[in-house]
A and B are shown apart, each in its own frame.
Chain A
Amino acid sequence: MTDVKKDIAAPLWVNAEITYKCPLHCVFCYNPLDYATTFDRELTTEEWLKALREARELGAVQLGISGGEPLMRDDVEIIVAEASRMGFYVNLLTSGIGLTEKRIAAFKAGGLDQIQLSFQDSTKELNDFLSSTRTFELKQKVAKLIKQYDYPMVLNVVLHRQNIDHIEQILQMAESLQADHVELANSQYYAWAYKNREYLMPSREQLQHAEAVCNRFRERLGNRMKLYFVAPDYYEDRPKGCMNGWGSVFLNIAPDGLALPCHEARMLPGLQFPNVREHSIRSIWYDSQAFNAYRGDSWMPEPCRSCDERHKDFGGCRCQAFMLTGDARNTDPVCSKSPHHSLITDQVALAQRLVLRNEDVQPLIVFRDDKNSRSFAAD
């Protein structure tokens, strides 16, 4: 426990993506396009527990159990109870599908600290369309169950062009479900959401309206219902401090055991991501090439290298830099100092011009499903 490298802080937050299987087909999903390739290589229960134990020993304390839909696995109860016993603060991130009373009772008994329930929208039609299923009523039932078992209700609604104008109804729904926290985060344009970026990015006017509505609810409800509103980073001129820096706080473990500094990093070329099956979390975190690749600031080219904000935003997001510019070391183009910033502003300009009717857009959207995933994997 004492021979940790003094210049590298221990991980605090582990996100366990225990499966990419999911009954939903959300158009803004950030799981990798080729997620279906992990289906036959998922970690076993014992392998998960070993990885979590090692992470906890290093000092990790927050644990997200996510996916896909984590409840597609039948060992979530075991993972929750063991992780809780290890001293993790355990969050379950779920669409609610599969959350029966029997399961929630087992989670409660096992020490689950909190449940985050995702909603696609406040109206049945759009919720069902955007997730490509009929789940809205089920989610309302699950929300009641969460309250019944005395969990704080954390609602997560991913916002985008197709649903952001329903913000008033979304917040009314949240209030009527007695939500404690509501996360209204615009979709970030990775993976499936990147494929659907034009259809998902709201206009400036839409954003301003949504924020104004949010502020009204905030003023009225105060701490009773905490609201977090996140605009798309494309509307900023400084990048997000992605993951609080590469290999700084956050460790993502994918269903097949790949250890990643963020949900999206699998896409980056030139990095050999270690697998928790073969390597200890300690060696992954401190010694692996992948986790050290973008740590600190010595990897930074200009304009980051000499920028006085480099320790605030860490040059933004490596995956976004790679997706948009072709080189993960480049400054995130969200930054107005980036020579590639026009890639962002052009897209934002397009979002102001586009006039899209839902019925025109819907046939063009790429749904996250196994068939599409296998075809991306084959490319």
Chain B
Amino acid sequence: MSFDLNKPLSFVRQYKLQWEQAQQAWVLLYPEGLVKLAGSAGEILKRVDGQRTASAIVADLQADFPGADLKQDVLDFLEHACFKGWICHD
């Protein structure tokens, strides 16, 4: 699974990210299942909007959470999400 830092990322068609008040969590919904996301995973995936690239998502998170060295973790997670078939770049 090649992963391009500079192409916009979007959700694969049948995947839907939704904030769940009752669970106080981001939930990823897809055919036949759901994943309740940990806080950091939710913060990353909610920035996947079909416009932002992986690099832009990292920059955005660094701006919102200054002082944390999160670049590699974020990229690893995005690559993992790509590998799982949740998100993709065209």
Count residues of chain B with CB under 8 A from any CB of chain A. Answer: 19
**Does any Cβ of A come within 8 Å of B75's Cβ?**
no
Interface residues of A in 22-57 (CB under 8 A from B): 57
Count residues of chain A with CB under 8 A from any CB of chain B. Answer: 23
0/1 string, A159-200, CB within 8 A of B gives 1:
000000000000000000000110100000000000000000
Task: Select one of A59, A89, A150, A226 contacting B29, CB under 8 A.
Answer: A89
- The segment out of B18-26, B39-47, B57-65, B66-74 that lies at the interface is B18-26
Task: Write the residues of chain B forming the contact surface with A, with a CB cutoff of 8 angstroms.
Answer: 1, 12-14, 16, 18, 20-23, 27, 29, 31-34, 36, 85, 88
**Does any Cβ of B come within 8 Å of A62's Cβ?**
yes
Indicate if the CB atoms of B29 and A62 lie closer than 8 Å.
Answer: yes
In the complex, number of A-B residue pairs with CB atoms less than 8 Å apart: 56
> What are 28 A-B contacts with C-beta separation under 8 Å?
A1-B21, A10-B22, A12-B23, A12-B36, A13-B34, A57-B22, A58-B22, A61-B18, A61-B20, A61-B29, A61-B34, A62-B33, A62-B34, A87-B18, A89-B29, A91-B31, A113-B14, A113-B16, A113-B29, A114-B14, A114-B31, A116-B31, A152-B31, A154-B31, A180-B13, A181-B14, A181-B32, A223-B88
Determine the chain B residues whose CB is within 8 A of the CB of A116 once the complex forms.
31-32
Determine the chain B residues whose CB is within 8 A of the CB of A58 once the complex forms.
22
Indicate if the CB atoms of B23 and A59 lie closer than 8 Å.
Answer: yes
Question: What's the Cα separation between A338 and B32 when bound, in Å?
Answer: 31
Determine the chain B residues whose CB is within 8 A of the CB of A89 once the complex forms.
16, 18, 29, 34
Determine the chain A residues whose CB is within 8 A of the CB of B18 once the complex forms.
61, 87, 89
Q: Which residue of A lies closest to B29 (CB)?
A: A89
